[in-house]
Structure 1
Amino acid sequence: MNSIDVGTGTGIAGIRGGARGCGCVTGSTGASRGHSNDNDNDHGSGHGDVPSDRAAPTVSLVGAGPGDPELLTVKALKRLQQAEVVLTDDLVDARLLACLPRSARVLRVGKRGGCVSTEQRFIHDLMIREARAGARVVRLKGGDPFVFGRGGEEVDALREAGIEVEVINGLSAGLAAPAAVGVPVTDRRCTPGVAFVTGHNGEHGIAPDWAALARSRLTLVVYMGLARAASIARALRAGGLIGATPAVVVSAAHTPRQRESFTTLADLAATIGRDALPSPALLVIGEVVALSPRWREDVGLSVLAEDRCELGRRGDRGGRVDHAGHADRADRADQADQADQADRMEAPDATAPSRLAATFQAA
């Protein structure tokens, strides 16, 4: 396997514009257009169901998952075993590259927030060039290609160039990171759903409506929000979300470098600074965070489970939480409001809250 950092320009004749991404590893400078003649133990041949007719250029857009190689899908593994050229992001776990044939070329086209990154147009041109040359091309992206991975842009560019695209979904960090710390992103006792939002709008991005999200009672999973945690928290609180709303920051989920810090919306930015949590990281904000067994251990609150799922709902009624974290029961919803909530949400298992509450009460 030959690994090339395209930012150096080495071995990629005729295409310019790449920039070295942070953390990219420069491999063999001898690898260029030609394929290696060392085909011993090339386990890519004969696997999977890619048609033998390679007249039509095709690129496989593959989600690598959140980090742990064992979370890779079976279909993604097959495509890696068949690959001749792999364009990989910085956030892809290096252990996945062990699945490649020895003759495969790896082109590192990294993008990392706050760093000089490979230009998106350059990545498009490189995929098109390699596919037209007849190579089995895999575009390997961390998480899921269609969840803040610019997968849609890459599909459009390839199709406009007349190249077929196969999309193989991966497990998104937006689901995997909360699960790694015991947080369910949905729970019918707490929230009607989940919203994946970006904390970084980019040059042409659309800014999230934080006020609307604050009113929605949705679990918020914020990508690329680490550096903007303070402004995000301010916007959510201005929109009505109370400062006691549970939150967790998960860095490098499902890797040996994983770190996490449980906190509240009010203390979110301070926690990130205190614990020096590095990117990549996700912010998870919402009542469901308090359902993690880690919540009581790390934050020191002893709110019962059914009270936790009411914290956000009291935000627009001036609800208060005392210093021990107990809900101010004088601010609970009246009977009419409770009936309205029951109409809008499926009736829960009546025994579930009490069982969970008993767990959190146990000292």
Structure 2
Amino acid sequence: MYPGIHNYSEIGKLNKVLLHRIGKEVEGLVPDNFERLLFDDIPFLEVAQKEHDRFAEVLRENGVEVVYYVEETAKAIADPQVKKAFLNDILDESNLNSQAVREAIFNYLFEMPAEEMVAKIIAGVRKTDIENVASTNLADMISSAYPFYMDPMPNLYFTRDPGACVGNGLNVHHMSTATRRRECLLLQYMLKYNKDFAPEGTQQWYDYNDPASIEGGDVLVLNAETVAIGLSQRTTAIGIEKLAENLLHKSTFKRVLVFDIPKSRAFMHLDTVFTMVDFDKFTIHPEIEGPLQLFEITLGPDGKPRFESVTDQLDRLLARVLNVPAVDLIRCGGDDFMAAQREQWNDGSNTLCIAPATVITYERNYVTNDLLDKKGIKVLTIPSAELSRGRGGPRCMSCPVNRDDL
């Protein structure tokens, strides 16, 4: 068992990782709520769970301790008073329209054991779960056809986004969409009350209550001095500034690199177009190789953040901050434009590095996987027919907690 949060790279030997085993929450997905819940399709749960179990199995086969959101949150709320506060915070974020409904949901959930309660919150509370809730609230009557009192959290299996372990601390993010904000509360309570997960002294670099959005798929720890952050569809410049200021003032990190990436569904986060796979190698989507705005944030002599526009080519910039002679950018899909688009959509660039030159990928991205193999990268593939329907890959599905230093 690896105590504490320790994460100073993208590629150091992975010792401990936080996952969420995909569950009944995806069975709350229907075409009518795709836009609301940020999905394009409905994973077949039985097969998706087998695929996710294989992901966890590959991690364990390679010496990684796997812990899960439900169990770790349940440990955090074992005390009844903490459990009560957690449930009230969840209800505050659940867009409930009447006090009667709120009280009925509170009583229904609070009677459950902690682990069962957390699982049910993630799965969502349907109106059929609670009988005889009297409400004369107009908004309740207008939305009476909607099946849920409390929406499910189908995106939680992408555990990269609610928070990020950076150095010896943790970000608890403010997600850009209302439907995902409750996920961060689980992590907030783990940080405050689960000392197995976050021992005393664990730093917090970003707070759930900070107003500007930032998401973990945009945060890459390149080395002990450098963090890269994507200015993306879901991470704001204000959020980046706040995180950068905390890191530069209170940690060993000396610079934050900001990548201004296209604001679209296919380029949702930085790690969907760019991930590190070895000391000097990255997977990359060809469309961010060209003209791309890059910024570097450091502390000036006066102790205030200094912002500089970077004009270097991406490979030269990365070689400089990583202190290597050159960097190899491995294109997702190679030189085949169609393969690049197809495998980018299925997260071909979204690799999870579990040791230098050893990565976990989706087996479906065979063009990119073959290129990685030819570059000397050990590729461990997992099935993904159903998991990939959520538009995220192995890096998206994992929150590294503890890595060896390089």
Greater fraction of residues in helix: 2
TM-score for the superposition, normalised by structure 1: 0.28
Greater fraction of residues in strand: 2
TM-score for the superposition, normalised by structure 2: 0.25
Query: Rg larger in 1 or in 2?
Result: 1
